[in-house]
Structure 1
């Protein structure tokens, strides 16, 4: 049977026993931080259990301190905090125990179990005010003789004078009994010390056994973990190899290029998400034979071979041809060029291909450039240099005679001088923080912005030439009346002026372009025959004109549009000189010429880094000039006020 005992030792130490020199309560000026809760030795205490008197002999030694402290620490780890009360009344706390220890008896301190406490306000006042001077502990004992302390309840004791204990199923120490002899003999001290040493040795042995067991268990866990990691690594390797084999099978990777295959395996092992990039690579037609209409069997190069060929080509025209034939068709929704360049050490091509793409966008965003006379060249030119550009003129049909045959038909041409007086550049610069903060292709993402900047500069320069001084003939119209009929009227006027009908175009500001698009005839055409005129926001030919929206058309002199032919305006472009050749060996960048096959525009691409600022820059540069061609072929459209 186990007992819960609230006991007051028959010869308790004073509550102030921690002083070096015993003092009477009248001399107390400072509350003690530590009190004795069990005196050392074997004690016979008179107690009661459920109101029945019992006498119990209890042995107190170092093991008691260990047991009581263990019980205290266990209570402290729960939500309820252990405490001392007053007279075992289990209500107001007198103190909060923090730890227990064994005192062997040094100096004036008697041997026993001591508790470090935090006093409550009422407990501190009771001791300082000399209301209490003794302590009675509560504890559990076993059935041995003498009994051993084996634990303690949450209420671990209380301050008492003449204790009256509550009937709390545990046993409560009765009123103060006649003192028993608690002085330990030398034999008892030796026995207590031996028992404490034996218990300490046993605990040390248990801890050693626990440590050995924990080490063995940890080793087993480590072994299992290593086995699982090895299996996972093997699975990842197998998956990566399978992905690469599948890519080889469909022709996305060359079968004999072990270095490329190993590189992809490593990329997928490092990050399985890279497998999706490999899956997205298109198959290489090199893996199958293609028979043309003439019965010839040929092999078609895949993306890798094409890019390597582009990289190897030195001449700008050769690169332009390769781009038009093999690279431009690759740019479809979902296609990503970056992984191919990275996997095949072709990353240096990225800025040049971005430039090619941006120049191709010019054709889509500014189709008007194809309607005028252009002189695009990859030759270098000096700033303010004059370029002669020949305008196309109409031909005439000659009657056949037996004497003269068909006769001669000299081409009706006109030379126009164009001054290269515009020099623009679009630099794309990113610092090291921007480049390191994302895996995105920052340079590639700027291709549309780059082409828009170039196109806007060129178009605005051409539009600045559309003035009354350069083109005297004009047609006036209210916005509300600008319909297909009004465009037909402009065509009639140009026919009267004998302007050649081939290649006529009509530039319109956004308001007039929208007004013409709302013409009932055009809407009906778009609804029933040509829906792309609505979905692609373009207009069909009207009265022989191809309408273009001119967003940046000048508003001066009420200008709303311009009708013309290829002879009306002329544009010439050239490439700036390679300034890096001025000081051979001093350049820290790369300068190249890029010719776009869609537009035939050639630009200078400069790539360099600034080590001081830790930035990387790709710059597109272009020189150009514009001129009025044949003024008689152009007609301004001006807006008049609404009535």
Structure 2
């Protein structure tokens, strides 16, 4: 039965809401058909291990047509108008050989208007029942309303309830779902395992809104806590006479340092406030100035610029993660006389 041309061999149910850019041209599996060309019936085989090979043969047949591209008609009339132009084929595990098409105006309108709900391909098959290629001339399939087949997996027959999936369609859908879930369909408990997995996913998805609400709430609590800490430190500074209660700009410094988790700025502010509370503060409220005032052997104020310069250099060496004590100790190493 080598190279037998099958007419109306298979049919894909096409959805009525928008013409699909691709559809299953040849479904996977073994199919008993009764096409016009073989009224006594014929078996077409589309095994998974031959899927890529068949798709390649179909693509090769398209290429041989060169500028006279392959086309499909209506109802296998083999004449105008054209319904669509197949542009390529690919094998999809669990589904079969899928065709990508460019619709003609009449073909698109027929599908979208539900005037044609099925696609029926034409192809050659070998002695083993496996498709070997496409016709060299004429159409390679057709949009139709009454396909010749009556029993075929994963496709709805014209005289069946088109809106109700067949058992075979449900089987293929189950295989696709199990594959997506990473479950081996050959397992004896595959269906139950798939159902359990889906239920777990649904349960997890149902928790997402609540978890998002908790995260938002926690973020708000953290922000409030930081603001309260910054405000408390500013109030201490006001009580110690270091800051003025109505100085909004200075108050904003404390709040922004706390909200940004700026550890270095917080260290400086905290030390400055602590020094003021202990009566060791000076009249200068610039937090970049050294908190401790170095004095020379005579008790007079030393040049604070040297300490500030040493601190700056130490800060650059140690990086932003260093705390105040580390910066102070390193500054003292850099310019020991300034800290005597």
Shorter-chain TM-score bucket reads: 0.3 to 0.5
Q: Tell me which of the two structures has the higher relative contact order, counting C-alpha pairs closer than 8 angstroms and 6 or more residues apart.
A: 2
Give the TM-score of the pair, scaled to structure 1: 0.22
Q: Higher strand fraction: Structure 1 or Structure 2? A: 1
> Which protein shows a greater Rg?
1
